């Protein structure tokens, strides 16, 4: 019994010592943290950069494509027995458009996107012909000038569509639409740069075609 009591006292004594040591270590750590130099926000935060505004042809090209896509998805929802009106009326609801403004936007988008697809088919044919000119061991030939011409035609189609809805909406109402577009659509658009095709492989076969993203 005596031995047990002595052992118990020794344990309490050792626990007290370890507790005091832990408290001392904590105090020392706090002192070191307080004494350490503090960095200001300006020292640690990188300088803020203002995102570059996208060209209107890029932004409204996507607006037109999205308007067509929403109508397609709304029709598919109707065929499944679902209500496609939420998709069909997305621009009208989110941008606060009237029925006439929505109809103008959709008709302009439909005609613009149809014409863009026709030019895309021409671009595809030019690219296929360009790739046929690749020769083993030779550097790629210069890009066909038709590609620049066709891309310019696409840009003009979008800008003409944009001018049509600007005229149909009027300055004040178009500003209302553009505010929605710049706030809710433009931030989600990213541009990617098309790379020049790789040289032909040494075995005489061409590398696989890579899709060129349209802005």
| Model confidence pLDDT, tens digit, residues 45-60 | 555 444 578 999 999 9
Q: What is the structure's pLDDT at 198?
A: 56
The HSE-up count of residue 13 (CA atoms within 13 Å, CB side) is: 6
Residues 6+ apart with CB under 8 A from 60: 158, 161, 162, 181
10 assigned to some structural domain: no
Q: What is the structure's pLDDT at 215?
A: 47
166 assigned to some structural domain: yes
Distance CA 17, CA 23 (A): 10
27 assigned to some structural domain: no
Q: How far apart are the first and last CA of the chain?
A: 88
Q: What is the structure's pLDDT at 182?
A: 95
19 assigned to some structural domain: no
Q: What is the structure's pLDDT at 136?
A: 84
What is the domain count for the chain? 1
92 assigned to some structural domain: yes
Domain range for 171 is 56-188
Q: What is the structure's pLDDT at 156?
A: 97
Contact (CB, 8 A) for 130 and 141: yes
Backbone dihedral angles phi then psi of residue 81, each to the nearest 5 degrees = 85, 15
Q: pLDDT for 90-137, tens place per residue?
A: 999 999 999 999 999 999 999 999 999 999 999 999 999 999 998 888
This prediction's pTM: 0.66
197 assigned to some structural domain: no
203 assigned to some structural domain: no
Q: What is the structure's pLDDT at 140?
A: 87
Positions in the chain whose pLDDT score sits under 50: 1-24, 27-44, 48-50, 202, 204, 212, 214-215
15 assigned to some structural domain: no
- Longest Cα–Cα distance of the chain, Å, equals 104
Residues 6+ apart with CB under 8 A from 54: 186, 189, 191
């Amino acid at each position: 019994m005596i031995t047990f009591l002595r052992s118990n006292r020794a344990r309490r004594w050792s626990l007290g010592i370890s507790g005091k040591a832990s408290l001392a270590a904590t105090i020392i750590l706090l002192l070191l943290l307080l004494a350490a130099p503090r960095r200001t926000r300006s020292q640690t935060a990188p300088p803020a950069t203002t995102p570059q505004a996208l060209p209107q042809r890029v932004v409204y090209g996507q607006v037109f494509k999205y308007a067509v896509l929403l109508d397609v998805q709304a029709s598919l929802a109707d065929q499944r027995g679902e209500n496609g009106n939420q998709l069909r009326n997305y621009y009208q609801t989110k941008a606060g458009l009237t029925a006439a403004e929505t109809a103008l936007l959709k008709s302009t988008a439909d005609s613009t996107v149809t014409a863009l697809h026709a030019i895309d088919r021409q671009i595809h044919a030019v690219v296929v012909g360009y790739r046929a000119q690749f020769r083993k061991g030779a550097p790629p030939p210069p890009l066909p000038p038709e590609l620049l011409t066709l891309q310019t035609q696409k840009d003009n189609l979008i800008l003409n569509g944009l001018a049509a809805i600007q005229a149909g909406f009027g300055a004040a109402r178009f500003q209302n639409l553009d505010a929605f577009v710049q706030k809710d659509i433009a931030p989600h658009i990213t541009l990617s740069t098309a790379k020049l095709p790789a040289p032909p492989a040494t075995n005489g076969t061409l590398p696989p075609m890579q899709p060129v993203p349209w802005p």
